[in-house]
Structure 1
Amino acid sequence: MTEGNFVDYIKIYASSGKGGQGSVHLHREKYITKGGPDGGDGGRGGHIILRGDKNMWTLFHLKFKRHFRAEGGGAGSASRSTGHDAKDIYIDVPLGTIVRDADTDEILHEITDHEKEVILLPGGKGGLGNWHFKSSTNQTPRYAQPGIDGQDGWFRIELKLLADVGLVGFPNAGKSTLLSVLTSAKPKIADYAFTTLKPNLGIVEHRDHQTFVIADIPGIIEGAAEGKGLGHRFLRHIERNSALLFLIPADSNDINKEYDILLNELKQHNPELLDKDRLLAISKTDMLDEELIAEIKQDLPKGIETIFISSVAEIGLQELKDKLWKMLNS
């Protein structure tokens, strides 16, 4: 999947089908001249249904099809025959998808399970045929119910990646390089800020063929919680991660300050993010000698475990995987 094909936000219009018209019919048969009402009910209109698919990672398939309309149900007919129910319209979405009302911003549904189905808009119920209205005082009713109208509206569909570990750091901290070394993912890598404009997922192979999923989230800048830079477009992906791996390069001017800024942006976006397990990795340590490492260790952020790694020289990567695995399974 190329970066351009990753779509995590889309707006769609959906309209469910109208119920079928109930039938007005009086039974007629040879030797039975007045058989009474026997008009059947109308069929149900088509639902608009969301369905989770674990094999999907993006909303790209909805980029060029944003209108979904279900057909109306069939009309009832003689002999109390019910009209056919209309075909339901299914919209497949990746796990981690949230659906909001576009007008009120209310969260309507959340899809986190494979093949889970939720009805976004129910189809209209079919109208009752005239045989329902027969009574002792009205033995030949010549009316039936019309079908109930379907529903429609605009909806916002957002994807929050389902990953075990989220990589958090400033642009150009080395997140994409680390992901490419730990996994088989091939993110775009270059020596300039904001190389990663879309989240990348990779599967990390641990000991004894055990695996976990890690997500490279686009870099944070100060003010991201207010929407600066990539803003909320990446912060919502972090919400679903079980653990957070903070990545700060060894050549940073102030490791403590960078960590505090990162932590503050997460707190402003959603204070619950601070409840997740956290690990700090100091990257690009192949540039340091033991004396410099010892000096940096004396002034590291408090309250978080720290590990020194190098993606290029593959220093400390196995220890990093062990620590992440322990965090995820503690």
Structure 2
Amino acid sequence: MRSLTLVCAALLVAATACTADPAPPTSAPTSAAPSAPPSATAESAVAGEPRVLVSGLEVPWGIAFLPDGSALVTERIPGTISRVAPDGAVTRLGEVEGVTPTGEGGLLGVAVSPDYATDRTLYVMLTTADDNRVVRLVANSDGTVDGSRDRQQEIVTGITKGGNHDGGRLAFGPDGYLYITTGEAGRGEPAQDRDDLGGKILRVTRDGAPAPGNPFGTQVYTVGHRNPQGLAWTPDGRLYQAEFGQQTWDEINLIEPGGNYGWPTVEGQEGRDGFIDPLVQQPVRNASWSGLAYADGAFYAGALRGERLFRYPLNPDGTLGEPQVLFRGEFGRIRTVVATPDGRSLWFTTSNRDGRGDPRADDDKIYVLPLS
């Protein structure tokens, strides 16, 4: 497989023995993350080369599959929603009013109701002039979307916006509730404040109310995040999350209800009482993890600054094995990674037109990666 290199998960070996960029020493693994078995071979990771599914997009941000196998795709800067078919055909469905695409904000994540086939309901997260919020929309009978403000039903509002770190990922969990990642918006201590919606994972009903069983009786599910991005579940219902660090470590966490993931007190694996350490970490320059997907017995994490796709095998005990790095530098910044409903391939997007990348011909793109 071209451009497939192996990096050392703990980053403890000498630079001459590891194909990752040189990194500072990591802290010792915690008891929750024992030493990993050898990584999978290149042949077991993917079954073919990525192919371009769609090109000419402007910062595609969210992807949510529909019952017919096509997907809804949001574009952050123009604030549009499109339907992309498995053969790459694109149908523009509508534009969401009130989107203010400043900094890293704009039209962000999208999630499809578990009952979309009958209720045609979708949820999007957007940055407005005042805040970040999640709204509910109902598609027309032909699938088009009227995103005018009088058709938007606000379900969560008042999430602090920032020039950076707006979170923005939406996903329905296997429990039927909507999970929302929110960034700390450049602030510190509010990520530890249970009454502040920033720097959190939220878990809500379809109307935006606190989901039954939430640990604090509010919309807040976990605290102490910096800029949580990817969300993905294993078949047995465990939730994993990818997160931007600041100067040193990006994280992949196993999410526990009511868990405190440390920010701004802790970054990476420090083993401090009262905080949950990440299962794995990578230097920020190698990663800046955004999308996260589970498929074929492994997690796939898209890296923005690192411009690569990580593959972490899932161990039976829920920990993660040694990573593989795929396609380093080949496609630029990788934003969103999702598994197709049949689990046989991944869709991933580039984010080269977001003001931080080096746009290439016909960027941005959605790629399809066949899996074994």
Q: TM-score range by the shorter chain?
A: under 0.3
**Structure label with greater radius of gyration:** 1
TM-score by length of 1: 0.21
Q: Which protein has the bigger strand share?
A: 2
